Structure 1
Amino acid sequence: MDSSGDRPFLIFEGPDGSVSQWTYREFDEVVTRMGATLAAAGVTAGSAVHVVLRNCPAFIAIWLACARAGVWMVPVDPTSTARDISRQVDRVRPAAGICAAGRADVYAAGVRESAAGQLTTIELTETAADVASPDVTSAAGTGLAGGDVPGRVVAPSDRLAVMFTSGTTSEPKGVVLTQHNYAHVADTMSAIVGLRPEHRWLVTLPLFHANAQYYCIAPAIAVGASVALTSAFSASQWLRQARDLSATHASLFAAPIRMILARRPADAPAGRLEHVWFAQNLGAQHYEEFTALAGCRPRQLYGMTETVAIVCADVSDPYRNDTIGPPIEGRTVVLRNPDTGADAAPGEPGELVLGGVPGEDIFLEYLDDPAATGRSLVARDGGTWFHTGDMVARVAGSAGGSGALRFVGRRDDVIKVSGENVSLTEVEATLAQAPGVLECAVLGRPDPVRDMVPVAYVVPRDREHPPDIGDLAAWSERNLAAAARPRDWHLIEALPRTSVGKVRRFKL
């Protein structure tokens, strides 16, 4: 605080386009007031706070107040239904809940459906006004006075958060994270990009997700850099926000990048970013188009909520669209055949298995689920190994434990077509570049002759003039290997997605 106190910390563009900002010293006072608000609501060390908010300054204040007081937060999707909220409350048994006033009726309904039936609830506006005053009003209408409260010494092993996985293929699991996990990710991620105090992260993805917390805000705090936060992701406004908020760094998934390319205005400003992380596969054409818009070549990474810091990062010169690079320093990775557990054969995709220390450089456990924890965290060879469930393959020409890798997809995303491995994720990245296609998802379907075959679900770029399926099939013949070509095509209005753009395949 002594060195960063007067430096900018948070610049927030609200839903009405207004911009507010705080220095590190000013926001430290906000965190102190939020800590007092939580204490007045009955939150004590070791208890949980259920956070159901869109991006806003209060979200960050709650997170930091929890870290300071030895409380753990449970950030969840703000679009959660009453049924979702009921199940979350039953699973984490929070001391208090925090939601938006505009969605308070849904939150209250969820609490009533829970086993508890009631919960102290704080309603916020999700605007800068939430942290502009030392008073925050509870759902009961009682003013919770701000002010300083006694600090508490927290241990590195103390729980700081439980984040639910996205649930794209199964029931969401609660990933338990410690104070040490957050300190580790802050130091690791700031070092990887050479982050300095004059840098500024643009955060447009949801704060309840690991990406914004791990890769952007925690590293910024570690070095005294600043954060430009928007209330929501807007594909058409992203380039303008990067310019107007003076961002130097950003982090995205492939799906939002494709949305930015599809919806960029004709007068979109030229980008001046220095660094962009991206995750998940991006086609070469889309990669080069976004490079021209952003002003720098995006750098692909690989990581999960459970891995805390990233596992791999592209170190090509120049960066490429098709590699997650080798493991970063300090990471030990092996590729295993998911069926036999043996080392993956050369040239074959294998499950990425990561060595680590639970509660330090990987997550501690899954909340109240020892069976799932035991399947994922396996003791072997004198250490602990996390089975990610993600398939990767070595890039041609690389060898050994430090060789570059490419992301293939989740285990269920790799199918056998007449004995050949086909990555549905890679097929999707290619098909998304076809004329007239906005985005697509590809699933595997059993076939009596070929074992499995790909089936494509396509969202047209122009709903009034969708692409011809015959043209799409012809295009795939020119751009995909025979085994990877979809055998059936379906035109649909939209893909079912999580809040960060991951496709919920099971809904298709």
Structure 2
Amino acid sequence: MKSATFQHTWDSAVRRHTDSPFLVFRAESGEVCEWTYGEFDLVVARTADSLRAAGVGPGSPVHVALRNCPAFVALWLAASRLGAWLVPVDPASSPRDIDRQVRRVRPAVGVCASAREAVYREGAGDRVPAVLVLAEDAGDVNDSETPLLCTEVVEMGDQALRPEDRLAVMFTSGTTAEPKGVVLTQANYAHVAAVMAEAARLRPHHRWHVTLPLFHANAQYYCFAPAIAVGASVALSAAFSASGWLRQARELGATHASLFAAPIRMILARTPSEEPPLQLEHVWFAQSLGAEHYEWFARLVGTRPRQLYGMTETVAIVSADSSEHPVHDVIGTPVADRRIRVADPVSGNPAAPGATGELQVLGTPGRDLFAGYLDDAETTARAFSTEPQGTWFATGDLVSRDADGVLRFTGRVDDVIKVSGENVSLTEVEAAVAQAPGVLEAAVVGVSDPVRDTVPVAYVVARDPNEPPRAEDLDEWADRNLAPAARPRAWHLIDELPRTSVGKVRRFRVGS
């Protein structure tokens, strides 16, 4: 059905909001450029024609290694128009990463930045037939001589798109294992656009502030897609600046924002004390924040942020804190028509109220769940379980659900350790330790112990490198603020945490 494609969502937005603002782009230089829906649709048409001239057609993969820039958005929408599919990857990918990516997807076209062209070509070798090299600035979509706009628009006619047609493959962030290719359809994007617009109560006059990388699900799922669904606008920054985040949000006229906990902690640590608070209408956040950090950030943005829970695989979020008074440690209740269950990770039986269990989500692959993992039927089969009521997806995440049905996030299945038989969530300990005096952020890992089986050990980054916290002071703090089993048995001071490009800690690399 035409209405179940993302291309229909975009076409409808262009018809209804032709002269309304769509994209506001702030370059690293501070220069700001704007496009209406109608203006950007012309950019998309020119981009689609240039891709087609380079060999892209229905079903073709387009491998994109770009930072946040208007060209990224144009390529995404152009791929949709052509019936092709986007493969957005970390622009900082190494030659080895790029080599593995292109071997897996066999792209018709690759796109990279001129600043990283040598790295891209080293990794791509001769396996990418055509490579488009861009500047990652507004000129990519404004200058008629750029690779995206160098071809004259030719009337294409309506592309016969189907809801089940592939629109993207996103690689997971690889915090605990090698990245998996998450296959997403036209229907996936149409569905997430509608659901997330309603979840954020988005209206045409609203504007998202996007500083997280566009190749990641958060920016696409939670910001751009719902904005398009209702004709709202997006303020896109070329790069994240912790010290300038509030100022940029104010200058760009943002009303909405979406962040992870790690960037929030950076904003708290780097925002100048004289910076006046914002008056945002809505803020999403994901991953654990301590109570002190939550209240501090709420004061800075002028609204109480609402924690959500979702994955690349779940497309739209599964749950969110929609209460009148949001709090720091609740991921809320299921949104829209989501159906979930919390299963004991050992027996598979329903977990008792308050007990920790694995979150499982009911849905339809290719619509409100991802279509599957790229060329990996075995892993897809392990993730999905088909039952009479539909398909259940096992998230691998642990939650607890109270008697009122409110969910709290505990961590990944492998993020919970047993200390003398007691469950300890490394995620929760990290959120607490990040609030200790002198600590900017922390990662906590489990190590073997001959007496207690496993114990937590903390790796901390100092708020001020010139005055790092002392281990004995952190021990005293932990004695006052953490349960005995959760107290780190050792403290290691490090310069920075190994992270994915969106700020998630690669815990398996800590201490290695």
Give yes or no for TM over 0.5: yes
Asked if the contact 2:110/2:128 (under 8 Å) is kept, the reply is: no
Distance 2:57 2:23 in 1: 27
Asked if the contact 2:106/2:128 (under 8 Å) is kept, the reply is: no
The secondary structure found in structure 2 opposite 1:187 is helix
Distance 2:353 2:142 in 1: 58
The secondary structure found in structure 2 opposite 1:455 is strand
Distance 1:470 1:149 in 2: 71
Q: Which of 183, 190, 198 is 1:176 aligned to? A: 183
Distance 1:453 1:339 in 2: 21
Asked if the contact 2:343/2:358 (under 8 Å) is kept, the reply is: yes
Instruction: Give 1:376 deviation, angstroms.
Output: 0.5
TM-score, normalisation: structure 1: 0.96
Distance 2:229 2:186 in 1: 14
The secondary structure found in structure 2 opposite 1:137 is coil
Q: Give the aligned partner of residue 482 of structure 1.
A: 484
Q: Give the aligned partner of residue 218 of structure 2.
A: 211
The secondary structure found in structure 2 opposite 1:236 is coil
Q: Give the aligned partner of residue 300 of structure 2.
A: 293
Distance 2:421 2:353 in 1: 16
Q: Give the aligned partner of residue 147 of structure 1.
A: 153
Instruction: Give 1:347 deviation, angstroms.
Output: 2.5
Instruction: Give 1:146 deviation, angstroms.
Output: 3.3
Asked if the contact 1:37/1:136 (under 8 Å) is kept, the reply is: no
Distance 1:351 1:474 in 2: 34
Instruction: Give 1:329 deviation, angstroms.
Output: 2.4
Q: Give the aligned partner of residue 506 of structure 2.
A: 504
Map Cα deviations across residues 199-229 of structure 1 (whole Å, 9 max, x no partner).
Answer: 0000000000000000000000000000000
Instruction: Give 1:5 deviation, angstroms.
Output: 0.5
Q: Give the aligned partner of residue 80 of structure 1.
A: 93
Alignment RMSD (CA, Å) = 1.2
The secondary structure found in structure 1 opposite 2:123 is helix
TM-score, normalisation: structure 2: 0.95
Distance 1:330 1:117 in 2: 43
Gaps of 5+ in 2: 1-13
Q: Give the aligned partner of residue 433 of structure 2.
A: 431
Instruction: Give 1:421 deviation, angstroms.
Output: 1.1
Q: Which of 119, 130, 133 is 1:120 aligned to? A: 130
Q: Give the aligned partner of residue 50 of structure 2.
A: 37
Asked if the contact 2:258/2:283 (under 8 Å) is kept, the reply is: yes
Q: Which of 453, 476, 483 is 1:451 aligned to? A: 453
Q: Give the aligned partner of residue 349 of structure 1.
A: 356
Does the alignment pair 1:91 with 2:91? no
Q: Which of 256, 264, 267 is 1:260 aligned to? A: 267
Distance 2:152 2:247 in 1: 36
Q: Give the aligned partner of residue 10 of structure 2.
A: none
Moved >3 Å (runs of 4+): none
Distance 2:155 2:178 in 1: 39
Asked if the contact 1:48/1:96 (under 8 Å) is kept, the reply is: yes
Q: Work out the number of aligned pairs and report it.
A: 496
Q: Which of 49, 54, 60 is 1:47 aligned to? A: 60
The secondary structure found in structure 1 opposite 2:362 is strand
Q: Counterpart of 1:105 in structure 2: which amino acid?
A: A
Does the alignment pair 1:270 with 2:277? yes
Asked if the contact 1:134/1:146 (under 8 Å) is kept, the reply is: no
Asked if the contact 2:109/2:128 (under 8 Å) is kept, the reply is: no
Q: Kindly, what percent of the aligned residue pairs are identical? A: 62
The secondary structure found in structure 2 opposite 1:122 is strand
Distance 2:389 2:20 in 1: 45
Map Cα deviations across residues 422-480 of structure 1 (whole Å, 9 max, x no partner).
Answer: 11101110110000000000011122221211110000111111001000011011011
Instruction: Give 1:118 deviation, angstroms.
Output: 4.5
The secondary structure found in structure 2 opposite 1:2 is helix
Q: Give the aligned partner of residue 18 of structure 2.
A: 5
The secondary structure found in structure 2 opposite 1:182 is helix
Instruction: Give 1:355 deviation, angstroms.
Output: 0.6
Map Cα deviations across residues 342-364 of structure 1 (whole Å, 9 max, x no partner).
Answer: 22233321000111000000000
Q: Which of 487, 490, 493 is 1:491 aligned to? A: 493
Asked if the contact 2:102/2:127 (under 8 Å) is kept, the reply is: no
Gaps of 5+ in 1: none
Asked if the contact 1:47/1:71 (under 8 Å) is kept, the reply is: yes
